[in-house]
Amino acid sequence: MLEKYNPGEILKIAVEVEKNGKELYALLEVKSRDPQAGLLWAYLKQQEEVHQQTFQEMLSNQKDYLVVEFSTGEHEPYLKAIASEYIFTQDLIKEHIGQEFKSDSEAIDFGISVEKISILTYSALREYINKNKQPVLDKVIDEEKNHLAKLKSLKRTIDHTGI
């Protein structure tokens, strides 16, 4: 088994990251200077709520979701490395909840980095999810990819307009 960052622990962290992300996106929605950014933050806030509930369900029913016995090997070091970055990201989200971003562009850059590490973490976690439950996590991963694409598109627009 994994030492500090076992799949169950990562599910707990995922619940917290999604909860903190929801709080951050709610603040960004209110403080955004660009109307398009405000709408995107509102959408992402709602999505974080859905993802938080999904991970809470997985956490509450670990025996149904997590592979109890798995061989340590190629995925273990990768999961540990990704999990440590994910924990750092969780701390950064908490830190940014109490701070102002200098611009919508800076806030979007931060959102992009959070979405990227979430995609990496959830993709690594997938190896430890029962095959019949992987579609639940796959849906979250696909949604996170969609969030990343929306943020990148908005970033291009805002950088072009200078907001």
User: What pLDDT, on a 0 to 100 scale, did the predictor assign at position 3?
Assistant: 46
Contact 58, 11 (CB under 8 A): yes
User: What pLDDT, on a 0 to 100 scale, did the predictor assign at position 2?
Assistant: 39
Could you tell me which residue, 76 or 124, shows the higher pLDDT?
124
The answer to pTM > 0.85 is no
Model confidence band, residue 69 (pLDDT cutoffs 50, 70, 90): low
Which residue range is the domain that position 21 belongs to? 7-161
Task: Show Cβ contacts of residue 58 under 8 Å, excluding neighbours closer than 6 positions.
Answer: 11, 65, 66, 129, 133, 136, 137
Whether residue 12 lies inside any domain: the answer is: yes
Cα separation, 129 vs 125, whole angstroms: 7
Percent of the chain with pLDDT over 90: 48
Could you tell me which residue, 57 or 16, shows the higher pLDDT?
57
Q: Number of folded domains in the chain?
A: 1
Record the tokens describing residue 36, joined without a space.
């398009």
Record the tokens describing residue 12, joined without a space.
């707990």
CATH code of the domain containing 131? 1.20.1260.10
Whether residue 1 lies inside any domain: the answer is: no
What confidence tens digit (pLDDT) does each residue in 126-163 have?
A: 888 899 999 999 999 999 999 999 999 999 999 887 65
Q: Where are the alpha helices (DSSP H) in 32-74?
A: 35-60, 62-65
Q: Which amino acid is at 134?
A: Q
> What is the widest separation between alpha-carbon atoms in the chain?
53
Whether residue 108 lies inside any domain: the answer is: yes
